[in-house]
Amino acid sequence: MKRALVIIVLTVAAIGLLMNLDLVLAMIVNSLILLLLLAAIVYGIYYFFILTEDQRKYKKALRRAKRKYRKK
């Protein structure tokens, strides 16, 4: 009798967890997307409004040099 009750309770708990799992995962994915979008906006503001033209050219040349020497 006790074993049957425990199995029923565990089954109901597992079903409840599976029913809410999609909501929890959707919230996590939405939070990650929002965080990535916010980071991209902040980086864009930094890159286009804070860095000078010479600094941008230097960063671009540095990325090219790293790519060039990494392949060898």
pTM over 0.85: no
pLDDT tens digits, one per residue of 23-68 = 888 999 999 999 999 999 999 999 889 988 999 899 899 999 998 8
Q: Which helix (H) or strand (E) holds 1?
A: none
Which residue's entry shows tokens 């799992």? 21
- pLDDT for 30: 96
Where do runs of H (alpha helix) occur along the chain?
Answer: 2-45, 53-70
